[in-house]
Structure 1
Amino acid sequence: MAATAAAAATAAAHTGRVFFFDIDNCLYPSSCGIMLAMGQRIHAYFQRMGFPDEEASELHRKYYTTYGLAVRGLVKHHDVDPIAYDKEVDQSIPLHEYISKDAELRDMLANMKDVKKWAFTNAYKVHANRVLGALGVEDQFAGMTFCDYAIKDFKCKPQEEIYHIAMKAAGVTDPKLCYFVDDSADNVDTAKRLGWTAVHVVGDNGKKGGSKHGDYQISNVKELPSVLPQFWT
């Protein structure tokens, strides 16, 4: 992995460009069921805290909408330990039942030219690394920016602060050199507002023409070469 990361950094040095990749529902299709399984575990977590079914659903929706992640609401309002929460929710998902090594995705990433590839996720690092490993692409990224649950007031997309954190970590200062792909319209909107070139993955059931978010819209991350061919030629 170190050799691959070093090669990626060397190639990117010629252009300074960094391509930020979301992970969940982006590197794999939303139809695989991971997010459904995660949502069920989050709902069960609320219920174990004592919230009845309807209130658990409402709080889950409210916190996700307000803070970008349900766990941020739990931390802010219920003094939940996010790392313990992550072990019980994200880390409990048997990923092998939902995703497997993806040779086509790996080839697409491996064939990118003159750009540093950087994972940029709202997950904690443990879940993110598990997903990258399950897909067989963990060695394709020079680094990762994740929601750091060890920090009390941790940041997450679509907050602008974490985009700046990602830029600093990836070693880029000019937003014009930043490229981004994500399935969340809100996350894409923030990237676009900051001057990044943004691509919205509308998902399996979405219509590319129905999304007005970002500079480009695709149904699947593997369509990236069709909208940004300069990274593969």
Structure 2
Amino acid sequence: MSSSQPQRVFFFDIDNCLYPKSTGIFKDMGKRIHAYFKRMGFPDEEATELHHRYYTEYGLAIRGLVKHHDVDPLAYDKEVDQGIPLQDYLKKDDDLRAMLSSMKDVRKWAFTNAYKVHGNRVLEALGVADQFEGMSFCDYEVKDFKCKPQEEFYHIVMKAAGVTDPSLCYFVDDSAVNIDMAKKLGWTAVHVVGDDIVEGKHGDFQIHSVKDLPSVLPQFWEKN
């Protein structure tokens, strides 16, 4: 990292954050995960229970499937995440692009719990892929891969982005537990709540849409 680059790094979650949950992707993905459990032989009720339990315990259903059922995460990803027809849900978002491109004195980094293929597909579909210096993702090619909200994953991401001081890290995500971990580590955290009813306060700020960021952190949009 050159000395001329801003030291502060803003980490952006991708799914249900750069685009709203109401697009339908979240629901489509849930159906595909449930169908995957059923194809493994689990009846409806057990598939639902395992999906919820693995997501709660491990951050992602696939981590539970890998840990307890020896599922190949790359094959799973091709069937679930990569099977989603993003063109049916997303289009280029000029307002999002304008917000990101007008940010000042900060580096931008995508930070997702998806595999790199899905992350890149979403960024391309939204027309903002070139706005991020890099992307950290769940690396399905690594045994016992990490994901949010595991503390180790945040340290891995900081190292990848070349930042060592947590006070220089800013983060926006729709998941309360992911926000809580960032806050625990000393990051400035912004929780995108959308239209959900959220119990308690998570992070430093709560916003309805990622496009509301300038209202809570205006310093990133002030002119030099």
TM-score w.r.t. length of structure 2: 0.96
- Give the one of 65, 69, 84 matched to 2:60: 69
Instruction: Write the mapping of 1:190-209 to structure 2, written as runs, cut at 5 A.
Output: 190-206=181-197
Distance 1:219 1:211 in 2: 15
Code of the residue aligned with 2:185 in structure 1: it is L
Q: In the alignment, is residue 53 of structure 1 matched against residue 35 of structure 2?
A: no
Distance 1:200 1:182 in 2: 6
Code of the residue aligned with 1:90 in structure 2: it is D
Code of the residue aligned with 1:177 in structure 2: it is L
Q: CA 1:90–1:14 in structure 2 vs 1: closer, same or farther (change >3 Å)?
A: closer
Identity of aligned residues (%): 75
Q: CA 1:13–1:63 in structure 2 vs 1: closer, same or farther (change >3 Å)?
A: farther
Q: In the alignment, is residue 213 of structure 1 matched against residue 192 of structure 2?
A: no
Q: CA 1:225–1:92 in structure 2 vs 1: closer, same or farther (change >3 Å)?
A: same
Distance 2:92 2:7 in 1: 30
User: 5+ unaligned residues in a row in structure 2: which ranges?
Assistant: none
Q: In the alignment, is residue 184 of structure 1 matched against residue 178 of structure 2?
A: no
Q: In the alignment, is residue 128 of structure 1 matched against residue 119 of structure 2?
A: yes
Code of the residue aligned with 2:70 in structure 1: it is D
- After TM superposition, the runs of 4+ consecutive aligned structure 1 residues lying more than 6 A away are none
Distance 1:206 1:110 in 2: 31
Distance 2:168 2:135 in 1: 17
Whether the 8 Å contact between 2:109 and 2:132 is mirrored in structure 1 is yes
Distance 1:105 1:22 in 2: 14
- Give the one of 118, 143, 151 matched to 2:134: 143
Code of the residue aligned with 1:22 in structure 2: it is D
SS of residue matched to 2:206: strand
Instruction: Write the mapping of 1:1-233 to structure 2, written as runs, cut at 5 A.
Output: 13-206=4-197, 211-233=200-222
Q: Which deviates the most, 12-21 or 220-229? A: 12-21
Distance 1:166 1:142 in 2: 13
Deviation at 1:211, TM superposition (A): 4.4
SS of residue matched to 1:92: coil
Code of the residue aligned with 1:185 in structure 2: it is A
Residue correspondences, number: 222
Deviation at 1:187, TM superposition (A): 0.1
Q: CA 1:87–1:14 in structure 2 vs 1: closer, same or farther (change >3 Å)?
A: closer
Deviation at 1:203, TM superposition (A): 1.2
Distance 1:211 1:163 in 2: 23
TM-score w.r.t. length of structure 1: 0.93
Deviation at 1:230, TM superposition (A): 0.3
Distance 2:142 2:16 in 1: 25
**Which residue number corresponds to residue 3 of structure 1?**
none
Deviation at 1:14, TM superposition (A): 4.9
Distance 1:119 1:70 in 2: 21
User: 5+ unaligned residues in a row in structure 1: which ranges?
Assistant: 1-8
Q: 1:106-155 CA deviation, whole Å, 9 max, x = no partner? A: 00000001111000000000000000000000000000100000001000
Distance 1:131 1:15 in 2: 26
Q: 1:43-66 CA deviation, whole Å, 9 max, x = no partner? A: 000000000000000000000000
Code of the residue aligned with 2:213 in structure 1: it is L
Q: Identify the structure with the greater helix proportion.
A: 1
Distance 2:124 2:32 in 1: 22
